[in-house]
Amino acid sequence: MTRFDCLDASYELLEDLHGPLEKIRARDSRLYTQLRTAAASISLNIAEGRARAGKDKRHLWRVALGSTEEVQSILHVAVRLRDITDADTVAAHATLDRLRGMLWRMTH
């Protein structure tokens, strides 16, 4: 299958989240699970949408876009709960910004 930049960026996000996930898991297993699930949802919905057509495709990409917001919010919550620091989230936030831009263009 050919490369798909948006999907590649979602995989990059998973890499960016490795450190924050490990720190969060040590302090809050429920928040860890929610972050892990939301982050995986981004990649899974982008991949599924890629194989669909029409409105179904856009719907899945909108779900992925919503999950980027959820991941960002979880990171902000984890910082404020002092589970992680702002410095732990820099790479993830940069990748989330890129993903949101791509997904917004794909859905509008």
pLDDT tens digits along 36-95: 999 999 999 999 999 988 888 999 999 999 999 999 999 999 999 999 999 999 999 999
Write out the two tokens for 29.
Answer: 């297993």
Residue 1: pLDDT over 60:
no
What pLDDT is recorded for position 107? 93
Domains of the chain: 5-107 (1.20.1440.60)
Residue 12: pLDDT over 90:
yes
Residue 85 Cα distances to 23, 61, 82, 89, 106, angstroms: 10, 30, 7, 7, 32
Q: 51-88 burial string, b = 16+ CB within 10 Å, else e?
A: eeeeeebeebbbbbbebbebbbebbebbbeeebbeeeb
Residue 3: pLDDT over 60:
yes
Residue 10: pLDDT over 90:
yes
Residue 106: pLDDT over 90:
yes
Write out the two tokens for 79.
Answer: 């910082």
Q: How far apart are CA 83 and CA 95, in angstroms?
A: 21
